[in-house]
Structure 1
Amino acid sequence: MTDCQLYLISPLDVSGEFPQRLERALDAGPRLVTAFQFRVKGIDQHDAVRLAEPLQAICAARDVAFIVNDDISLAKRLRADGVHLGQGDGDPKDAREQLGRETQIGVTCHASKHLAMEAGEAGADYVAFGAFFDSTTKASDYRPDPDILDWWSTLFEIPCVAIGGITPENCRPLVEAGADFLAVSGAVWNGDEVSAIEAFAEQIRPA
């Protein structure tokens, strides 16, 4: 069975007490949480850098990959560990040229096997499928079946990420289908982050 791990996605507001919350979440799941995506909208790059830097340091101290959502130039400026691209956010080949060989590049593929194969051919380091469930974090018209995770992990070496409304209560079928990572946001940040990480660990580890 896959060693599934957690990929945390930030809330849109990462100011105030959020750095302390991130520390608590990462410390609650050492070796379980292996990536964190910085996802903020509608602010200029200077403000984004100011907000990102303390979070990036928290991740670096715990060997957690710091991934920037949607913005290749911000990822380059921060020397982030990676960038996550939606279908309209740029080409993985362009991102690779700008960010270098060591940077992790992920691509949203919705419910499409074709988009996932294209992303892999373009050099993506991981592909993301979803939304598997209703999500309050980001609306999606796509509802892939968990079987797409099994199909992908059987045929390809590139890791796959499951995303969209994932909670401790509904995640087990995705783990069993072969998800390498569960991307989670609201399930962690909308309540007590430590309890949420521990609840995910209980579901992921026995699977």
Structure 2
Amino acid sequence: MTETPCQLYLISPLDVGGTFPDRLARALDAGAGIVTAFQFRVKGVDQHEAAALAAPLQEMCAARDVAFIVNDSIALARRLGADGVHLGQSDGTVAEARDALGREAQIGVTCHASRHLALEAGEAGADYVAFGAFFPSTTKDSEHRAELELLEWWHEMVEIPSVAIGGITPANCRPLIEAGADFLAVSGAVWNGDEAAAVRAFAEQIAAS
């Protein structure tokens, strides 16, 4: 029995209009079998506009069997019938998300660099926990810095999948994979350049680890 290899969890840029649907299609197609989740993350738009922006992206993910996860908003995830929601520490509880979205929803929780927060999330029924930031990130400021030892400990002690996040690139991701991260959450490393080439570069690192 072999362990499931590390997979990619794409996080959208804040601007998902214009040509972004085409870019997402290229990234997903380049990472078939490696990209298994996509997080819809927009700020400063009302729920109606967010739903309109989400529709083509959600359809694209469904066609490729990629989980469509909404960032922060349980209400938007419910409105869209999304596959799940990712909760920050102030975005509601796992129980609230489960009540709203149902038993099959994928619920993730940001746990920064805290074993305690991660264990609490797991006990509450989270489907995955996210640790980070592991590296400086241009996508999102973080006062928390996680260490490889946290991933190693979690991988050895807990069965709930872990997501590593924060400044991850093809050049620096190998230690995270080898420490036991189940998913690499990536944004800027993909969308700030050629998205298909970046996804292929991550896939090469995953295959080599």
Report sequence identity in percent: 74
**Following superposition of structure 1 onto structure 2, how do residues 58-69 of structure 1 map, counting pairs within 5 Å?**
58-69=60-71
Q: Can you give the 5+ residue segments of structure 2 that lack an aligned partner in the other structure?
A: none
1:190 to 189, 192, 207: 192
Q: Give the conservation status (yes or no) of the 8 Å contact 1:2–1:175.
A: no
Normalising by structure 2, we get a TM-score of 0.98
Runs of 4+ in 1 over 3 A off after TM superposition: none
> Alignment partner of 1:205: what SS?
helix
Query: Counterpart of 2:103?
Result: 101
Query: Counterpart of 1:24?
Result: 26
CA distance in 1, matches of 2:33, 2:150: 26
Query: Are residues 1:83 and 2:85 paired?
Result: yes
> Alignment partner of 1:55: what SS?
helix
1:147 to 146, 149, 160: 149
Deviation at 1:206, TM superposition (A): 1.3
> Alignment partner of 2:150: what SS?
helix
What amino acid is the match of 1:86?
G
> Alignment partner of 2:70: what SS?
strand
Q: Give the conservation status (yes or no) of the 8 Å contact 1:2–1:178.
A: no
Deviation at 1:137, TM superposition (A): 0.5
CA distance in 1, matches of 2:130, 2:73: 17
* RMSD (Å), alpha carbons: 0.7
Task: Tell me the number of residue pairs that the alignment of Structure 1 and Structure 2 aligns.
Answer: 207
What amino acid is the match of 1:71?
S
Query: Counterpart of 1:138?
Result: 140
Query: Counterpart of 1:54?
Result: 56
Deviation at 1:96, TM superposition (A): 0.4
What amino acid is the match of 1:19?
P
Greater shift, 127-136 or 140-149, is seen at: 140-149
> Alignment partner of 2:152: what SS?
helix
What amino acid is the match of 1:131?
A
> Alignment partner of 1:140: what SS?
coil
Normalising by structure 1, we get a TM-score of 0.99
Deviation at 1:148, TM superposition (A): 0.6
Q: Give the conservation status (yes or no) of the 8 Å contact 1:95–1:105.
A: yes
Deviation at 1:2, TM superposition (A): 5.1
Q: Can you give the 5+ residue segments of structure 1 that lack an aligned partner in the other structure?
A: none
